[in-house]
Structure 1
């Protein structure tokens, strides 16, 4: 779960928190979306390792950007609809399926929320 928080915080730092150059909102979200596949992988890994949904959601609440927080919370809720698998191959398939296409999905959703 800490990996999710670190990835999201890193993404938020890329979203214009630095003083020298503030990114336009669209470019900031493109940067945010570029780390979403890694965040999704971490979320599903936590799910498959038995981390409780409430704990994962609590970590997401620490994200300062409201839109990013809501997006990560939606990923967490989606991941927790997937059963926990005991077989490593099934776990890997769940992880692969959950991360596939996440960056494009994030970009698409961001464009719809304009």
Structure 2
């Protein structure tokens, strides 16, 4: 019985401890996941009639040059795609676009990149 109480107490202490800090690679993986969702939103805007000039204007408000460059690249890629009719066809474009952006981000070296917060 005492062993169960001790184990329960130890588990409670572990649950209350601070989470370990993320490594630079783990931070970058989280950022890239967020970047994939941002790319998905860009493609969604493209398919829903947001004008290219408006998308670029919005992206140019980003202060960080690395992020701005990455977002502008996604805008270029999204607007090279034809606009399709029908929600199901539009939805079919979103996930692959998001995954490609996330993978491209993950393939980018992160060692010299500052600590970004997720988008």
Structure with max Cα Rg = 2
CA contact (8 A) 2:74 2:101 kept: no
Give the structure, 1 or 2, with the largest relative contact order (CA under 8 Å, sep 6 or more): 2
CA contact (8 A) 2:60 2:68 kept: yes
Q: What's the CA shift string for 1:40-66, capped at 9, x where partnerless?
A: 111011000010111111111111110
CA 26–35 in structure 1, closer or farther in 2 if over 3 Å, else same: same
- Quote the RMSD (CA, aligned, Å): 2.5
Give unmatched runs, 5+ long, in structure 1.
Answer: 1-22
Work out the CA distance in 2 between the residues paired with 1:88 and 1:58.
Answer: 26
TM-score by length of 1: 0.67
**How much has 1:94 moved relative to structure 2?**
1.2
1:79 aligns with 2:64: no
Work out the CA distance in 2 between the residues paired with 1:30 and 1:47.
Answer: 26
CA contact (8 A) 2:28 2:110 kept: no
Work out the CA distance in 2 between the residues paired with 1:24 and 1:64.
Answer: 25
TM-score by length of 2: 0.65
Runs of 4+ in 1 over 6 A off after TM superposition: none
Give unmatched runs, 5+ long, in structure 2.
Answer: 1-21, 114-119
Matched ranges for 1:19-34 at <5 A: 29-34=28-33
**How much has 1:84 moved relative to structure 2?**
0.7
Matched with 1:44 is 43
